[in-house]
Chains A and B, each alone.
Chain A
Amino acid sequence: MSQENTAAKAAPGVEKKEKPERDIHNLGSSFIFKPNVIDDIHVKAELGRYRMRGFSLFKKIPHFDDLTFLPGTLTRFVIEGYREKCETKTILGPRAKRPMELDIPVYITGMSFGALSYEAKTALARGATMAGSATCSGEGGMIPDERRYSEKWFYQLIQSRYGFNPHHARLADAIEFFIGQGCKVGMGGHLMGQKVTDQVAEMRSLPAGIDQRSPARHPDWLGPDDLALKVEEVREATNWEIPIQLKLGAARVYDDVRMAAKCEPDCIYIDGMEGGTGAGPHLATEDTGVPGIAAIRQARKALDDVGKTGEISLIYAGGIRNGADLAKAIALGADAVAIGHAALIALNCNKDIEEADFPNEMGVEAGYCYHCHTGRCPVGVTTQDPQLRKRLNPDEAAERVYNFLHTLAVECQLFARACAKTNVHSLEPEDLAALTMEASSMAQVPMAGSQHTVGRPDMTRY
């Protein structure tokens, strides 16, 4: 049909409007090969390797946003906000001789010195201490000032054993075995050559400047039976005093947690696929693991089923941004939550500070940066460059970390009180409803406005 024939006829006396010419060749664009996918292939065709990046998950997955609270109205008696007490004290590893006692149910997760600058590490430690919370060394060993500034401190025992020192283990308040992390389950850590400075290399016994791709398996144990013995060894090493935590990337959570529980740790930490990273293959961060809302629920069920609830604490991390996420994670079954990138954002990540020039330095506007792996962090957080590090004032940063942690706790209380709890740990799945079928199925809570939980044979509550 010609263009002419299809044009509507103008009424007499009315001026005929010019219609833009239709492009009969434009059928739309591919859902599969979107412009960014096309660009990705172009880049990889030149690079000949996978692409690295830092930061968080890029794609949309069922998430805490897909859940909502069902606060008290007439069926529940609400607790007065800001006035009546709502307990936030959190005890991790209650069976241990010296459990980890936190004032709030959130602490700073393990992020290595190397990935983070000295200023970032110490600011996190100081902020956490002010908030009555804890930090964790991460990979690559202890920096003494982090230990000194952290009132409560996890020491990480990671596959690579970079910088692992038994003297430092004896200084720890808890030991965390890194077995996996949510953003790249099944893989070891990464630190690109730019960040492997002389100092970082010396701490890790590596040649300076190499691209460090850490092992994915521990050197001295291979399966859960050996792990149980390894846990015992570390208990011997630390005098059977402090909690031992196993950090798992969320994959086959129900089975993994039951196996982990058999190793008799004090705490199990589950890292959802939302989890951030300092450096990882982009594809791994997008395409490994399961979402937090599914992982927490499965982990709690596993602990219940093996009779370890109340004995082994459950910690969740991955994509926690605010007190609502925190409260939802607790309601789904976590005893505490750890935060990574949200704390870095409190430090200044992605903030358009005066000294930084994001478009020129990183090629993106502030708010869109994910380039932690380059070591060129324009706000001094994920860099070892002395000039860039000066852009982070650790004194002010520590205060921001404290403010943020405190806010998370207060926001969490807000939901707990509204749901009629005098203790944030009393939040429960019954306080939640799902806004999507996926969230209902994964978190095993009913769809909002119904009693129907997707995936339950009788379509009722979990």
Chain B
Amino acid sequence: MAELESRDSHDMGMHDEQLAGRTQQIFFKPSAEENFTYPGAYEVDFDKETEFDAADMSNKDVNLKIRDLMSQGYGSITIRNPGAKHSLGVCILNRLQLTFDGSLGYFGCGLIDGPNVHIKGRVGWSCAENMMAGTVVIEKNAGSTFGAALRGGDLVCKGDVGSRSGIDMKGGTIIVGGKTGMNSGFMMQRGRMVILGDAGQNLGDSMYDGTIYIAGKYESLGVDAVESEMTQTDIDWLEKKLSIYGLKAPNGVENVRKIVSGKKLWNYDNLEPSEKKLIL
């Protein structure tokens, strides 16, 4: 273990902070790197393929099995009959090609950093919550709080999603092929959310930052969410991103609308008296 520095604390640590890796933050001093190992991140080989049937397995056993296979270097894993069990595929912290041949329950593929996941069925609440990097593609519909607190990567649902999708988003991209429920993009901080269908009430409520693109209609905008001009960069980005997943905006990307933060709540204390009513 590298020597722990107990002196010069004012100059240490945080000043060496850097953003690196996939999207994970590496803060520590390079000289003291061996003080940290990231447990649970494996070196895998995409060409090493395997599959197993989860029908008679508990969710715990499925996850342990995935970890075991990854530790043996398997980089492409297919899981048959996931049976909508909860918390499947959580906390995979390395690259991996993972296919679920069926549906997942709540918290499917939450807390992941790096894998490319293909879900052939549906997912329950909070799919890919706090995902850091990678891609998750769902062929059918998704439940509420889809991609909650997403930090990075692409999360794609080709069907409809429930309410509160993209809540507290901190980065990455969410694409919804169909419609989304109320409070989508609530308190969004960064990242992009693309809705190809309609959205419910309070779209983008209290968003700090980030961008929501919507091709359909929305019932209402939330507090401090405002429409903004689409730029050529927006159009190019949308076209490219959607094409990766074989999706299209129904009336063309030029007619997509863009929602951003009005930034009035950034410093509530500095608002003009009349603006303060914003939060009532």
Chain A residues near B (Cβ < 8 Å): 47-49, 118-119, 122, 126, 142-145, 147-149, 159-161, 163-167, 169-171, 193, 199, 202-207, 209-211, 213, 215, 219-221, 226, 229-230, 232-233, 236-240, 389-390, 394-395
**Cβ A221 vs Cβ B14 within 8 A:** no
Q: How far is the CB of B49 from chain A (nearest CB, A)?
A: 24
**In the assembly, what is the distance between CA of A169 and CA of B7, in Å?**
28
- 8 Å CB interface, B228-277 against A: 265-269, 273, 276
Tell me which of A170, A209, A220, A236 contacts B93 (CB under 8 A).
Answer: A170
Tell me which of A144, A170, A210, A215 contacts B40 (CB under 8 A).
Answer: A170
**Cβ B14 vs Cβ A237 within 8 A:** no
**In the assembly, what is the distance between CA of A119 and CA of B7, in Å?**
11
| Extra inter-chain contacts (12) besides given A143-B13, A160-B168, A206-B208, CB under 8 Å | A48-B273, A119-B9, A119-B10, A144-B27, A159-B168, A166-B112, A166-B113, A170-B39, A209-B267, A219-B126, A230-B126, A233-B90
Tell me which of B19, B149, B267 contacts A219 (CB under 8 A).
Answer: B149
- 8 Å CB interface, B91-150 against A: 91, 93, 105-107, 110-113, 125-126, 129-130, 132, 145, 148-149
Does any Cβ of A come within 8 Å of B31's Cβ? no
**Cβ A226 vs Cβ B41 within 8 A:** no
Chain B residues contacting A240 (CB-CB under 8 Å) are 60
**Cβ B168 vs Cβ A233 within 8 A:** no
Tell me which of A164, A207, A232, A237 contacts B91 (CB under 8 A).
Answer: A237
Chain B residues contacting A215 (CB-CB under 8 Å) are 168, 187
**Cβ A210 vs Cβ B266 within 8 A:** yes
**Cβ B132 vs Cβ A219 within 8 A:** no
Tell me which of B4, B38, B151 contacts A205 (CB under 8 A).
Answer: B151
Chain B residues near A (Cβ < 8 Å): 4, 6-7, 9-10, 12-14, 17, 19, 24-25, 27-28, 32, 35-36, 38-41, 59-60, 63, 67, 86-87, 90-91, 93, 105-107, 110-113, 125-126, 129-130, 132, 145, 148-149, 151, 164, 167-168, 170-171, 186-187, 189-190, 208-209, 265-269, 273, 276
**Cβ A236 vs Cβ B12 within 8 A:** no
**Cβ A167 vs Cβ B151 within 8 A:** no
**Cβ A233 vs Cβ B107 within 8 A:** yes
**Cβ A49 vs Cβ B268 within 8 A:** yes
A165-B25, A210-B267 given; A170·B91 CB < 8 A = yes
Chain A residues contacting B59 (CB-CB under 8 Å) are 232, 236
**In the assembly, what is the distance between CA of A48 and CA of B275, in Å?**
11
**In the assembly, what is the distance between CA of A240 and CA of B59, in Å?**
12
Q: How far is the CB of B171 from chain A (nearest CB, A)?
A: 6
Q: How far is the CB of B92 from chain A (nearest CB, A)?
A: 9
**Cβ B125 vs Cβ A233 within 8 A:** no
A126-B6, A205-B171 given; A232·B87 CB < 8 A = yes
**Cβ B126 vs Cβ A118 within 8 A:** no
Question: Smallest CB-CB separation from B59: which chain A residue?
Answer: A236
A166-B91, A167-B38, A220-B129 given; A230·B187 CB < 8 A = no
**Cβ B14 vs Cβ A143 within 8 A:** yes
**Cβ B87 vs Cβ A229 within 8 A:** yes
**Cβ B125 vs Cβ A148 within 8 A:** no
A49-B276, A165-B132 given; A237·B90 CB < 8 A = yes
Instruction: Give 28 CB contacts A-B under 8 Å.
Output: A144-B36, A148-B32, A149-B4, A161-B148, A161-B170, A165-B24, A166-B112, A166-B132, A170-B39, A171-B36, A205-B170, A207-B208, A209-B267, A210-B266, A211-B269, A220-B107, A220-B129, A220-B130, A220-B145, A221-B125, A229-B86, A229-B87, A232-B87, A233-B110, A236-B91, A237-B90, A390-B10, A394-B9
Chain B residues contacting A167 (CB-CB under 8 Å) are 24, 38, 41, 93, 113
Tell me which of B9, B111, B273 contacts A166 (CB under 8 A).
Answer: B111
Tell me which of A145, A205, A237 contacts B13 (CB under 8 A).
Answer: A145
**Cβ B130 vs Cβ A193 within 8 A:** no
Question: Smallest CB-CB separation from B190: which chain A residue?
Answer: A205
**In the assembly, what is the distance between CA of A209 and CA of B269, in Å?**
12
**Cβ B86 vs Cβ A166 within 8 A:** no
**In the assembly, what is the distance between CA of A229 and CA of B209, in Å?**
30
Q: How far is the CB of A46 from chain B (nearest CB, A)?
A: 10
Question: Smallest CB-CB separation from B21: which chain A residue?
Answer: A167
**Cβ B38 vs Cβ A145 within 8 A:** no
